[in-house]
């Protein structure tokens, strides 16, 4: 087999590494969404700086703390890496959902209930170290996967809007999880709502001594690789992308759109539940969440910044974690509240959710190309005459 046929199309050579880079930067259809994404991130940072100057009594110091937090203290760098872990899992889960062109946010429930399931296993199931968190992750993933199926089933059977149903389920499962912690897993000796302590074998190994950075960071990296392979190197991933791009054509090609929706939601929920178990076994000695951490909503931003491509999820998770660490460090050493990060996240969502922005760039370019083609055609007609 010649190299000319390795690209999958007869007679067409697969471009090399540098040629692929050149093609990317000359293919405006691929480049424009990336530029919009980078502009959204830059605009959020600039808007944050402007906001700091408007509300802070010491704006220069606050901006310095916001922008340079991960580099001012070594602890902040570990904190940055720790903060990436849960939003990487939820970002990956939502990449799968968005590739299938659904809008379900049930991953928030999958993550939360995955943590609750892992808590029960961490308290009551005696297992050897290493095996203990692994069993909890599998169980939490399966529970999260089953929860992830619910909006898809309602969509297929009764045409219920998956966004609305998933938001309703998020409330249901948050109160269900709180009920389980309150009445079955609670430590009555604590003054706050907290579970009984985990067994020592439940904790993940720390990657760096005297820090909270745990092996969940590596597990998240492996998850990125596996999801990328699933989406772009397997027939199931191809079916998800084809069904999302054109459901009618997928049906015509003999694919079951309903089955694709079911297993894509299950895999997404499994990743969410797995993330909840990793977070609980990596960082905590007991379940102490007083409210829903809402990592599912953070996953929305991560998936949107990554443009639904799991390969870019670590970079978008790094950016969001960078903003979070900077805002937290600044709020503890200045007069700007941590909640201002919510405003920046809202700006990012508004920019990325506006398809009209990308469409405007594309429409302007296509008009220019059409005018050039028309001018060339008129010139050729004049020459022929």
Contacts of 116 (CB under 8 A, 6+ apart): 177, 180, 181, 185, 276, 287
- The Cα 26–Cα 360 span in angstroms is 19
- pLDDT tens-place string over residues 82-108: 999 999 999 999 999 999 999 999 999
Residue 283: predicted pLDDT: 96
Residue 12: predicted pLDDT: 52
Residue 346: predicted pLDDT: 84
- pLDDT tens-place string over residues 259-295: 999 999 999 999 999 999 999 999 999 999 999 999 9
| Residues in the chain, overall count | 385
Half-sphere exposure in the Cβ direction for 205 (13 Å, CA): 8
Angle, helix 59-72 to helix 313-332, in steps of 10 degrees:
130
Residue 191: predicted pLDDT: 87
Residue 273: predicted pLDDT: 98
Residue 44: predicted pLDDT: 85
Helix, coil or strand: residue 272: helix
Q: Which single residue is written with the structure tokens 């050729």?
A: 380
- Could you list the mean pLDDT of each consecutive 10-residue stretch along the chain, which spans 385 residues? 42 56 55 76 89 92 93 92 97 96 96 98 96 98 98 94 96 97 95 94 94 96 97 96 93 93 97 98 96 92 93 96 94 88 84 64 64 69 66
- The Cα 67–Cα 261 span in angstroms is 41
Helices (H), the chain: 17-26, 28-55, 59-72, 74-99, 107-124, 131-158, 162-180, 216-233, 235-245, 247-252, 257-283, 295-305, 313-332, 340-353, 355-384
Residue 194: predicted pLDDT: 95
Residue 32: predicted pLDDT: 66
Q: Is the pTM of this model over 0.95?
A: no
Q: What are the sequence ranges of the domains in the chain?
A: 87-316
């Amino acid at each position: 087999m010649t190299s000319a046929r390795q690209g999958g199309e007869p007679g067409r050579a697969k471009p090399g590494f540098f040629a692929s880079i050149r093609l990317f930067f000359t293919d405006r259809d691929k480049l424009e969404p990336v530029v919009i994404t980078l502009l959204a991130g830059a605009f959020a940072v600039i808007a944050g700086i402007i906001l700091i100057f408007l509300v802070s009594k010491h704006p220069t110091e606050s901006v310095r703390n916001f922008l340079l937090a991960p580099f001012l203290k070594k602890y902040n760098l570990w904190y940055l890496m720790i903060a990436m872990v849960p939003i990487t899992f939820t970002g990956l889960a939502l990449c799968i959902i968005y590739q299938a062109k659904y809008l379900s946010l049930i991953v928030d429930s999958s993550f939360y209930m995955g943590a609750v399931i892992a808590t029960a296993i961490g308290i009551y199931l005696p297992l050897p170290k290493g095996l203990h968190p692994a069993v909890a992750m599998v169980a939490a993933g399966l529970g999260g996967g089953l929860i992830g199926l619910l909006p898809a089933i309602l969509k297929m059977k009764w045409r219920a809007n998956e966004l609305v149903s998933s938001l309703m389920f998020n409330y249901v499962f948050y109160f269900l999880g709180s009920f389980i912690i309150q009445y079955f897993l609670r430590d009555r000796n604590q003054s706050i709502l907290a579970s009984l302590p985990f067994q020592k074998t439940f904790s993940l190994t720390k990657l760096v001594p005297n820090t909270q950075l745990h092996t969940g960071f590596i597990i998240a990296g492996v998850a990125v690789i596996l999801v990328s392979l699933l989406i772009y190197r397997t027939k199931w991933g191809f079916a998800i992308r084809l069904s999302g791009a054109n459901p009618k054509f997928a049906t015509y090609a003999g694919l079951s759109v309903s089955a694709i929706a079911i297993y894509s939601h299950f895999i997404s929920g499994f990743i969410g539940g797995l993330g909840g178990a990793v977070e609980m076994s990596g960082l905590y000695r007991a379940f102490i969440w007083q409210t829903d951490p809402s990592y599912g909503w953070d996953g929305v931003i991560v998936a949107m910044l990554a443009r639904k491509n799991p390969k870019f999820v670590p970079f978008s998770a790094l950016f969001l974690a960078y903003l979070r660490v900077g805002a937290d460090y600044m709020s503890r050493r200045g007069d700007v509240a941590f909640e201002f990060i919510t405003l920046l996240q809202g700006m990012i969502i508004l920019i990325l959710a506006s398809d009209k922005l990308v469409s405007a760039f594309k429409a302007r370019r296509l008009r220019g190309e059409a005018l050039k083609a028309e001018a060339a055609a008129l010139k050729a007609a004049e020459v022929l005459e």
